[in-house]
Amino acid sequence: PPPREVLPWNRFGDASRELAQVVVDSGWMPDLVIAVARGGLIPAGAIAYALGVKAMGTMNVEFYTDVEETLPEPQVLPPMLDTSVLAGAKVLVVDDVADSGRTLEVVMRLLRTGTTPGAGPHTVTPAPEHLPAEARSAVLYTKPQSVIEPDYTWRSTDRWIAFPWSSLPPVTATANTEA
Ligand code: 5GP
């Protein structure tokens, strides 16, 4: 099998602090951190703490239906955050990885223009008056084929990444659990 990039929990702790440091050193500070669920939830929480930013929201995007199977376009799905909190704000969008980069591309376009390509029946979009003043993106990893260059990235790799939160299967009931 091709070599994988393994990110253990302890190294994730350093990675999120270092990525927050890159944001701070750029001289820009968000008012609000938005996690792209689910992969961006844990990085976004860690980075928001490291930045000292309390305001957080999430956006749900579905793209992959299987390991190598994708929808035609990434879909922004409910529940959508209360988009009035975006109005005029500086927003940092956080995800785990920009691989094809199409998920992040759709989220950034939605925040910058209020529109999304290939909108499906469940797609949600913010009203024009709720668009942020500025949206930037931060990811732990960027892959070379990504269609967008995130504003902030921790590392680049062309390998499959094993993140600590998704490298083990879901827990199951232990044998002696009472029904
Ligand atoms: P993209 O739209 O940039 O192709 O990737 C969308 C999502 O697919 C990422 O946010 C991530 O959750 C998942 N993904 C893409 N590449 C990898 C990878 O190398 N490892 C893992 N664990 N997930 C990945």
- Percent of the chain at pLDDT above 90? 75
**Average pLDDT value for the chain:** 94
Q: Is pLDDT above 90 for 160?
A: yes
CA distance 121 to 105: 20
Ligand 1 atom nearest 101 alpha carbon:
3
pLDDT, position 28: 98
CA distance 93 to 6: 23
Contact 160, 2 (CB under 8 A): yes
pLDDT, position 117: 85
Q: Which two tokens stand for residue 14?
A: 């350093």
What residue's CA is closest to ligand 1, atom 16? 99
Q: Is pLDDT above 80 for 18?
A: yes
Ligand 1: centre distance to CA 34 (Å): 17
Ligand 1: centre distance to CA 160 (Å): 9
Q: Is pLDDT above 70 for 159?
A: yes
Environment class of 33 (CB within 10 Å of its CB; exposed 0-12, middle 13-18, buried 19+): buried
What is the model's pTM?
A: 0.94
What residue's CA is closest to ligand 1, atom 20? 161
Nearest Cα to 10, choosing from 159, 161, 164, 160? 164
Mutate-to-test residue for ligand 1 from 99, 110, 143, 156, highest number of ligand atoms within 8 A of CB: 99
CA distance 148 to 52: 27
Least confident of 22-26, 67-71, 93-97, 112-116: 67-71
pLDDT, position 179: 64
What residue's CA is closest to ligand 1, atom 23? 161
Nearest Cα to 53, choosing from 82, 10, 91? 91
| pLDDT range class, residue 14, cuts 50, 70, 90 | very high
Residues in contact with ligand 1 (CB, 6 Å cut-off): 39, 63-64, 95-103, 160-161, 163, 166
Contact 41, 35 (CB under 8 A): yes
In tens, the pLDDT along 34-53 reads 999 999 999 999 999 999 99
Ligand 1: centre distance to CA 98 (Å): 7
What residue's CA is closest to ligand 1, atom 21? 161
Environment class of 77 (CB within 10 Å of its CB; exposed 0-12, middle 13-18, buried 19+): middle
Nearest Cα to 113, choosing from 124, 103, 128, 101? 128
